[in-house]
Amino acid sequence: MEINIAETEQKEITSFFYRILIPRPIAWVSTRSKTGIDNLAPFSFYGGVSANPPIVSLGIGRRAGKHKDTAQNLIDTGECVIHLTSVELSEKVVQTSAELPPEDDEFEIAGLEKTKSTDVKPPRMKDAKVALEGKLYRHLEVGNGPGDMLLVEIVRIHIDDDILDERGRPDPSKLDPLARLGGRQYASLTEAWEIIRPD
Read off the CATH number of the domain in which 88 is found.
2.30.110.10
Instruction: Flag whether 55 is in a domain.
Output: yes
Percent of the chain with pLDDT over 90: 85
Span 45-99, pLDDT tens digits: 999 999 999 999 999 999 888 999 999 999 999 999 999 999 999 999 999 999 8
Which range marks the domain in which residue 13 is found?
5-182
| pLDDT at res. 189 | 85
> Rounded CA gap, 24 and 195, in Å?
21
Instruction: Flag whether 157 is in a domain.
Output: yes
Domains contained in the chain, number: 1
Q: Which residues pair with 127 in a beta bridge?
A: none
| pLDDT at res. 193 | 87
Q: Residue 157: pLDDT above 90? A: yes
| pLDDT at res. 64 | 87
| pLDDT at res. 102 | 87
Q: What is the pTM of this model?
A: 0.94
Full DSSP string of 3-31? --GGGS-HHHHHHHHHHHS-SEE-EEEEE
pLDDT bracket for residue 190 (50, 70, 90): confident
The average confidence (pLDDT) of the chain is 94
Instruction: Flag whether 97 is in a domain.
Output: yes
Instruction: Flag whether 40 is in a domain.
Output: yes
| pLDDT at res. 71 | 97
Instruction: Flag whether 197 is in a domain.
Output: no
| pLDDT at res. 173 | 84
Give residue 126's identity as a one-letter amino acid code. K
